[in-house]
Amino acid sequence: MSDTIFTKIMDKSIPADILYEDDEVLAFKDINPQAPLHFLVIPKKPIATINDITSEDYAVVGKLSGVAAQLVGEHGMA
């Protein structure tokens, strides 16, 4: 996968307001928020499109939702 804004955020070559990070997932505030709480949760493994998700990715894709729910709760939006 080519160098994208997301890979640059992951390797810390551009700044981001990181809300959560582990070995598989990164969550950060949107640079141009459209809501009081607007963040992105991305897998660290490059997955170009939804059509590229394999059965090996199911756990991390599920984790994206779990992290999003956790962050919403932590920010009092749930």
Tell me, what CATH number does 23's domain have?
3.30.428.10
Amino acid at 10: M
d(CA 54, CA 68): 21
Neighbours of 52 (CB within 10 A): 10
Instruction: With cut-offs at 50, 70 and 90, classify the pLDDT of residue 2.
Output: confident
User: Range of 36's domain?
Assistant: 5-74
> Considering the entire predicted model, what is its pTM?
0.91
39-66 pLDDT, tens digit per residue, is 999 999 999 999 999 999 999 999 999 9
Contact 43, 16 (CB under 8 A): no
Q: Give residue 12's region: left, alpha or beta (phi > 0; psi -120 to 50).
A: left
Q: How many domains, in total, are found in the chain?
A: 1
Q: Is residue 63 packed enough to be buried (19+ CB in 10 Å), middle (13-18) or exposed (0-12)?
A: middle
Q: What are the tens digits of pLDDT across the range 9-46?
A: 999 999 999 999 999 999 999 999 999 999 999 999 99
Say what the pLDDT of residue 1 is.
Answer: 55
Look at residue 20 in the predicted model and tell me its pLDDT. 99
